[in-house]
Amino acid sequence: MNVTVSGQDRTGELGQALAAEAARLQAAGGIGELAPEHTALRLKRSRDLDDYVYHFIELLRMRHGVRTSDYYVPRGPGLRGKVAVALKTVLWKLLRYQHDRLTLQQNLINELEINVVEFQRDRLNQELADLKRRVAELEQGRAKGAP
């Protein structure tokens, strides 16, 4: 395994950690479900708008991916149910590569949209901090008797 970051070979630094994490995930059966605290109900407990936006973007970041992993196909009763499940399973395996292509594109779009929202939030927070600083400077100047 070779690990390249920004055109530099970082296998020595990151290789063992990545291999250990991959082995841990494989032993655990994959990434699995998110923790119970990673739910939209967490947004109800937000203290203010900033806290809400922070947690909302955090949840978006965790849940933005569309996955095409195998899933449970519910089965109806009798022979008709067995045939339907078998047919759906075969069709899924035949068409999965198309779904993988589309989900990769959708995941990239989702990631870019989240990045835009984070960038916009950070920019507005910086602008707000600058405005607060300027108002404080103006108030200090007025308190000292400046026009």
pLDDT in tens, 83-117: 988 898 888 888 888 888 888 888 888 888 888 88
pLDDT at 17 over 70: yes
Instruction: Kindly report, residue by residue over 27-44, the tens digit of the pLDDT.
Output: 765 555 666 667 777 788
Q: Which of 42, 69, 70 is nearest to 54 (CA)?
A: 42
Report the 10 Å Cβ neighbour count for 37: 7
- Position 136 confidence tier, pLDDT thresholds 50, 70, 90: very high
Is the pTM higher than 0.75? The answer reads no
**Distance of CA 55 to CAs 35, 37, 108, 109, 114, Å?**
14, 11, 21, 21, 13
CB-neighbour burial class of residue 105 (10 A; exposed 0-12, middle 13-18, buried 19+)? exposed
Q: Are 70 and 29 in contact (CB under 8 A)?
A: no
Domain coordinates in residue numbering, the chain: 1-32, 64-143
- Identity at 145, one-letter amino acid code: G
pLDDT at 3: 75
Q: Are 1 and 15 in contact (CB under 8 A)?
A: yes
